[in-house]
Chains A and B, each alone.
Chain A
Amino acid sequence: MKTSSAKPSPKTVQKTINYVKRYWTLYLLLLLPVTYFIIFKYIPMTYIQIAFKKYSIVQGPWEMPWADNYGFEYFIKAFSNRDFLLALRNTIMLNFLDLLVGFPAPIILAILLNELPYKRFKRFTQTVAYMPHFLSWIIISGLAKQLFTPTSGLVNIVLGRLGFEPIPFLNDPVHWVWTYVFLGVWQSVGWNTIIYLAAITGINPELYEAAEIDGAGRFRKIWHVTLPGLRPTIITLLILSLGRILGSEFDRPYALSNNLVTEVSNVISTYVYAYGIKGLQFSLTTAVGIFQSVVCVIFLFAANALAKKFGERGIW
């Protein structure tokens, strides 16, 4: 037997030739996508080392000299930089509020839509509710500015006619935060119902019938049948959301921000843009980026492990 493993038998050679003959086109198809992932996802990972090095424009990342403090100079710098700490705080705060308000919203809406007996009206509501998802944050910020301007925006004109003081929705830090969260819900709530509605369709109708026979009303059926049926979906999406608690969108805070609210609107992504691409502090901002990526991965794994500990299926 030993000789056969060292010297493949003619049979296995023939098998390999047949295999390659049959499938070589599949490898040809994969060539371009794999090249894409290597160039645009993996080669940037080799640039990560500049977070630990003194950036120099004339040297490649491999030749740059190591930074001070065993290479951690720029991490220390980031964590003693007031703007970064503020951006870190804002990222966590805005994501947490998003989770608190934006996570339950599509669950409630999906249940509401499921209770709606008028089919055509339901379909129309869904179509309209999906619309904001297709608008860019630039456009939403344009809409928001036109609606919420203290003097000339629709909302404040109406408030004024009703005898209320105008509300500085986008021009004062506290109001800005809530406007930011509300606009996020507005943009995503309809779209995020799709997954929940699909999960509701998968619930066994016999369960509803059984609940009805037991005398359950609308709310009891929602509580004892619909919500338990949604549970696996809710847990999966919650894990993914927790994994993103330190992740940051760029377009949304950048488009909605203005000079009056930068103390709450600057997040990690906008900090990296301002300090890195505009301020050319590449080592510092790469360090910030790694910190963010690593923490995101840790959170995702932790959330998944926690879910499994409580007997849920987790995401993998």
Chain B
Amino acid sequence: MVKSKKTKIGDLIVAFFCFLLILACLLPMINVLSRSLSSTDALIRNEVLLLPKGLNFDSYKMVVDDPKYTWSLVWTAIITVIGTCLSMIMTTICAYPLTYDNLKGKRFINALIIFTMYFNAGTIPLYLLLKDLHLLNRPAVLVIPYCLSVFNMIIMRSFFYGIPESLRESAEIDGAGPIRILISIYLPLSTPVIATLSLFYAVGRWNGFSDALMFMNNKREYWPIQLLLYNILNNVTSIEVSTQEGFTKPGLADSIKAATVMFATVPILLVYPWLQKYFIVGVTLGSIKE
């Protein structure tokens, strides 16, 4: 098909808008990266735009040398791994039985679960329950209360529904039980949805802030990275850390904040592009109506 000149100009205009979008997404990150690598003098003189001035790694060194900060990163990684594993197990064992159409009581259990999507008791009742369960300010509070998302469960169930039922039936004829069928047939075929949901849960935990703020506020040693970062960025409370010396110098405070933002961002930015083809499938599945 021969394209007319007019469409080509149109294509270029579209490409130009996409280029602007790319700039809008990347420039803030580039700016913060440059700030974290620049000298304090350059920052005070407002000279840093997109390229670092007076390249140095002092702010990164100060952050890495600060045990509170490195521990918070390690701790967040630990709860991210544990939380994601737990969530994936819970999501699978919830979604899989509900794909059996002749399971008695399925409709009731389904209704029980879906109802919680539309109506929830609110923050304070959950807070009071966690208080009564003595979970407040315990490490488990960062993992358990939000370990199963109905939305993600529905995505997984939709994916399971797409697996041909003939596979299950032939395995049943061979004498395999439901758990065996799950492990040896369903899970190996479910890489896209497992990758997608693991990413969703992991990002959710890594970026989790409000649950830590509300349920973990008194135990600073269990603060995940986002809560620590919030306090650093807003200079809230006297954080007794070595980075505090930096806050007396205005330029250095700026570059330390930029370095902490980079540390909390880079792990996710390294992972998500590789999973793109999977999470597109996952999001699309989530929009399929029942």
Contacts and interface: CB of A to CB of B under 8 A. Distances in A.
B147 interface: yes
Contacts of A254: 210, 213
A96 B121 CA distance: 24
A95 interface: no
Nearest to B30: A154
Interface string B121-144: 111111111000000000000001
Given A139-B265, A154-B49, A198-B287, A289 B129 contact: no
Nearest to B112: A37
A122 B233 CA distance: 35
Contacts of A164: none
17 contacts: A26-B97, A26-B178, A29-B93, A44-B120, A48-B121, A50-B128, A126-B276, A131-B269, A135-B207, A139-B261, A142-B32, A142-B260, A147-B28, A186-B25, A198-B284, A290-B122, A293-B121
A3 B229 CA distance: 72
A47 B254 contact: no
A33 B93 contact: yes
Nearest to A143: B28
Nearest to A301: B118
A152 B43 contact: yes
A127 B270 CA distance: 12
A266 interface: no
B284 A194 contact: yes
A272 B123 contact: yes
Contacts of B104: 19
A58 interface: no
Interface of A: 19, 22-23, 25-27, 29-30, 32-34, 36-37, 39-45, 47-48, 50, 61, 109, 112-113, 115-118, 121-122, 124-132, 134-139, 141-147, 151-152, 154, 157-158, 186, 190-191, 194-195, 198, 217-218, 233, 236, 250-251, 254-255, 258, 269, 272-273, 276-277, 282, 285-286, 288-290, 292-293, 297, 300, 315-316
Nearest to B21: A129
B46 A151 contact: yes
A130 B103 CA distance: 39
A146 B257 CA distance: 9
Contacts of A50: 125, 128
B32 A138 contact: no
B69 to A, nearest CB: 14
Nearest to A313: B289
Interface residues of B, number: 87
A153 to B, nearest CB: 9
A282 B124 contact: yes
Contacts of A115: 10-11, 14
Interface string B96-121: 11101001100001001100101111
Given A26-B178, A36-B90, A146 B124 contact: no
Interface string B11-43: 100110110011011111101100100000001
**Interface of chain B, helix or strand or loop or mixed?**
helix
Nearest to A152: B46
A116 B260 CA distance: 37
A195 B226 CA distance: 29
Contacts of A145: 233
Given A191-B283, A285-B124, 13 more contacts: A25-B178, A30-B93, A30-B97, A40-B129, A115-B10, A127-B276, A134-B272, A136-B208, A139-B229, A198-B283, A277-B214, A293-B120, A300-B118
A23 B103 contact: yes
B90 A32 contact: yes
B224 to A, nearest CB: 10
B87 to A, nearest CB: 11
Contact of B210 (A32, A41, A251): A251
B94 A286 contact: no
A39 B118 CA distance: 17
Max count, chain A CB within 10 A of own CB: residue among B90, B127, B177:
B127
A258 B90 CA distance: 39
B273 interface: yes
Interface string B149-181: 000010000000000000000000000011100
A128 B148 contact: no
Contact of A158 (B28, B49, B97): B49
